[in-house]
Amino acid sequence: MSTQEWTKAVTVTVNGRRETREVEHRTLLVHLLREQLRLTGTHIGCDTSNCGACTVILDGAAVKSCTVLAVQAHGHEVTTVEGLSGPFDGLSAVQEGFRQEHGLQCGYCTPGMLMASTALLSEQPDPSPEQVRHALEGNICRCTGYEMIVRSVRWAAEHSDGATP
């Protein structure tokens, strides 16, 4: 087989910017983001879809980008942690909540937590602590014990203008 048979042009809108890249059929979205688009805020934590460090927002839903082929994202919209911004000195309400409530320690899980939290607040602007915990079940943090993360998301819910979680 020729190389052309193993590759495909993929066009994805990432953080509002349309990007087209040639990828192998087996390329994961996380690798397209990190290696070809140089958006390294999306972390690879486990390679087994267990940790959630690679969470991005695909067409409004939080997904683990290590479980999505780049070709599956063709024609869709992806938001990465680099695409979050808002009224708090350029930080979104979720990012500011993590800052205010100390929702991070080592920071490795933080991009995935931010993206899962942003998706949650887009669907549920005022989640209960239990709803926050449920929404973040697929994201592992080995440092915080989660209580500060839950407080961070609640802070964002309380201080969000409704349009910028």
Q: What is the pLDDT of residue 15?
A: 97
Return the CATH number at 153.
Answer: 1.10.150.120
Tell me the C-alpha distance between 107 and 163, whole Å.
Answer: 25
DSSP 8-state assignment for residue 81: G
Residue 132 Rama label (left phi>0; alpha psi -120 to 50; beta)? alpha
pTM: 0.92
Alpha-carbon torsion (98, 118, 58, 139), positive or negative: positive
Q: What is the pLDDT of residue 86?
A: 87
Assess if residue 64 is contained within a domain. Answer: yes
Q: Which residues make beta-bridge pairs with 18?
A: 13
Is the domain of 26 the same as that of 79? Answer: yes
Q: What is the pLDDT of residue 73?
A: 98
Asked if residue 23 lies in contact with residue 71, where contact means CB atoms within 8 angstroms, the answer is yes
What is the distance, to the nearest Å, from the Cα of residue 46 to the centroid of all Cα atoms in its chain? 15
Look at the chain and report how many structural domains it folds into: 2
Domain that holds residue 77: 3-83
Is the domain of 18 the same as that of 78? Answer: yes
Q: What is the pLDDT of residue 6?
A: 84
Q: What is the pLDDT of residue 130?
A: 97
Return the CATH number at 42.
Answer: 3.10.20.30
Q: Which residues make beta-bridge pairs with 62?
A: 57
Tell me the C-alpha distance between 45 and 58, whole Å.
Answer: 19
- Tens-of-pLDDT digits for all 165 residues of the chain? 455 678 899 999 999 999 999 999 999 999 999 999 999 999 998 878 899 999 999 999 999 999 999 999 999 999 999 999 988 889 999 999 999 999 998 989 999 999 999 999 999 999 999 999 999 999 999 888 899 999 999 999 999 876 566
Assess if residue 68 is contained within a domain. Answer: yes
Is the domain of 72 the same as that of 142? Answer: no
Q: Which of these three, 56, 83, 110, is where a domain ends?
A: 83
Is the domain of 68 the same as that of 106? Answer: no
Tell me the C-alpha distance between 104 and 149, whole Å.
Answer: 7
Assess if residue 61 is contained within a domain. Answer: yes
